[in-house]
Amino acid sequence: MNLAQISKNLLTNHSLITVDGVTYNNREEIPREFALLLANSIPKKAQSSITSLSVSDLMMPIRELLYKLKTPAINNSVSVTSITKSSNENLLLRNMQKVLRKVDGYSIGEHRSTEIDGTSIGMELEIVDPTGMLKLLKTDTSSVVGKLATERVEMTPKNHTLQELYDNFPVHFKYIFELSMGRYLAQDLVTSEYGNILLHLNNNCQFKAVQIDSEKRLRLYSLLDTDEFVTKRLHQIKQHLTDSTLPNCSDIECGTTTPEYKVVRLSKDLKWVTVRGTKTNNKTEVMQFLLSDKAKQGDKLETTEVVSKNCLTCSAISRCTQFKKDI
């Protein structure tokens, strides 16, 4: 391939793609065919307002939602790689729904809504099986399996309110609340007290024994508990709009990690490896190890800094003063 052909290919890969008024760029230079597929497979979302919200709106941090309601999104070009997860999930869901529409007893893709305190709340019921159980498709990394297991251990034996789930166990909240809202909005159709997450892992590097495709069954919250959470959350949102205030996001909402410290040692093949038993959140413990007889010449401290990973994918990141303060 000559230089002119290479330049032409790069220009093609970098060209902008506009779909439904949103412009996507391909700076990462993935093949243009993949870029076009992703840009045209992003789920279509209705404009949110204080009189019309989706269930997904209620699941996001109030600060992020307030930015979304008060100020229009800045339409700089969006990287196609940033929408890979949602696009692939939408592609898989639409194909699964297409197949299940041919199977007796399934209700597919029905949209339901209701009005609470002057605000319409709606969602798509992706799949309702013949037994009246709501099922939602989620694609995620294998680390979500570990988070689900960790949260499950921490949650027992105490029963938690939905607000306590939101404040402390974000993975379980994300799944249980959405399923519970599905039953709340479609009590005639969703009759099971349980809901299932159809979990498709888009990687499997951390948990080799975990299936790529699995099903997680979760007990739904009662209609009364669900209504109480939504009503209180709507009141908080409206009060902040009235007062022109923005609550800070919590560490849980930001996905803020704790700093991690460990001792690393140069191996025989000249690679830095972690000294077993030294990984901790307590810097003092690591320093004590380095001063003890267990340490060897050349051992050193390695620190994993605090990261607010959810902030990096937040829709309000370009406008959020809390994030700018922290970086």
Query: pLDDT at position 141, please?
Result: 78
Q: Which range is least confidently modeled, 86-90, 96-100, 202-206?
A: 202-206
Tell me the pLDDT tens digit for each residue of 235-279. Answer: 999 999 999 999 999 999 998 877 888 999 998 888 899 999 898
pLDDT at 327 over 50: no
Cβ-Cβ contacts under 8 Å for 283 (sequence gap 6 or more): 259, 261, 301, 303
Residue 38: φ, ψ to 5°: -65, -45
CATH number of 47-247: 3.90.320
Q: Are 238 and 65 in contact (CB under 8 A)?
A: no
* Percent share of the chain, pLDDT over 90: 53
Residue 54 Cα to chain centre, angstroms: 16
Question: Which range, of 135-139, 182-186, 193-197, 314-318, averages the lowest pLDDT?
Answer: 314-318
pTM over 0.85: no
For CATH 3.90.320, list the domain ranges present in the chain.
Answer: 47-247
The 3-state DSSP class for residue 55 equals helix
